[in-house]
Chains A and B, each alone.
Chain A
Amino acid sequence: MSVEEQIRDIVSRIAHVDKGIITRESTFKDMKADSLDIVQALVAVEEAFDIEIPDEEAQKFQNFGDFVSYVESRAAKKDEA
């Protein structure tokens, strides 16, 4: 499963939203995710990929695609290390 698919699964489970409507352009508002959903999604993704996502970075995510790209780059760096 790709990073994107794994994150889509996590967000869909936490925000109780159908996976089908989550595209890379979807904002957290589109996904009906409130602030707690976002925190829980960050925690779940951090655990799934064994990375840390600083809140300052998370605040820059404009949409689902930004979230995925950030995790992909962190996961890649981790693989190199």
Chain B
Amino acid sequence: MSFEGKLALVTGSGRGIGRATALKLASLGCDIIVNYFRRRETAESTAKDIQALGVRAEVVKANVGDPAKIDEMFDTIANRFGYLDILISNAASGVGRPIMDVDVKAWDWTMDINAKAFLLCVQRAVQLMEGRAGTVVSISSLGSRFVWPTYAAVGVSKAALEALTRYLAIEMIPKGIRVNAVSASAVNTEALQFYIREGYVKDSKQTTPAGRMVTPEDVANVVAFLCSEEAFMIRGQTIVVDGGTSVAPFIPGGQEQA
């Protein structure tokens, strides 16, 4: 698998799954645009680690919840590079509240960043992918199909993201662009710490048949595969990376492995 000479935009790649994905693609020769929202320091640290792998890295700030900022980000990419091969729509946010406490502002904030941003980023990315056999991967979560406490707004936004992935996969075929999603269970990131602190998530090791928590690198490996030519015939799918949790909810974690 090689992405030499290609350019990827990974939204929200200062930390967590976005950072791991950016580093994975970079390790396979891909130049990376590191997008961040509020923490320049973490984005610059990702960029430095990418450059150490011998490829190009550029840092671009943008709140993807704001359509004008998405436009500014893509204007910057168009001016600096003029092309794009891979879009990873990873940036996410959300308001963790019971449904009765989800007001218009909380709903809009979550949907804007997690779902609407995907639509707007793809619309701009496609223009830069012309004639380049581009790939798009959105990062979802098992909360789109399963119910977790206080996760309603985020879960619904991720369901929208997955549905949009399917529609895009078909509508983008004439443009030679492949679109898929990767959905993970609780991944060991900073974002998860919130749910652990609040007592909503226990140590997932105990509930993951594969015996350990899913890491950002586990997700990044699948994203990279979906971006490769080897995944050519996979279209509009949501690939689940959860160590078996969703197919065996009643089987405790830590099964013995041969």
Contacts and interface: CB of A to CB of B under 8 A. Distances in A.
Contacts of B48: none
A43 B105 contact: no
Interface string B89-113: 0000001000000000110010000
A51 to B, nearest CB: 11
Interface string A37-58: 1001011001000001010000
A42 B38 CA distance: 10
A50 to B, nearest CB: 11
Contacts of B106: 36
A43 B38 contact: yes
Interface string B62-77: 0100000000000000
Task: Give the interface residue-count category, chain B.
Answer: under 10
B38 A46 contact: yes
B40 A36 contact: no
B39 interface: yes
Given A36-B105, A36-B109, A43-B63, A52 B95 contact: no
A37 B95 CA distance: 11
Interface size class of A (residues with CB under 8 A): under 10
Contact of A36 (B38, B39, B95): B95
A66 B109 CA distance: 26
Nearest to A14: B105
Contacts of B63: 43
A75 to B, nearest CB: 17
A52 B105 CA distance: 23
A34 to B, nearest CB: 8
Interface in B161-182: none
A52 B40 contact: yes
Contacts of A36: 95, 105-106, 109
Contacts of A42: 38
Contacts of A35: 95
A40 B63 CA distance: 11
A40 B105 CA distance: 10
B109 A52 contact: no
Nearest to A37: B105
16 contacts: A35-B95, A36-B95, A36-B105, A36-B106, A36-B109, A37-B105, A40-B105, A40-B109, A42-B38, A43-B38, A43-B63, A46-B38, A52-B38, A52-B39, A52-B40, A54-B39
Interface of A: 35-37, 40, 42-43, 46, 52, 54
Interchain residue pairs A-B with the least CB separation, the first 3? A36-B95, A36-B106, A36-B109
Given A36-B95, A40-B109, A43-B63, 4 more contacts: A36-B105, A36-B106, A46-B38, A54-B39
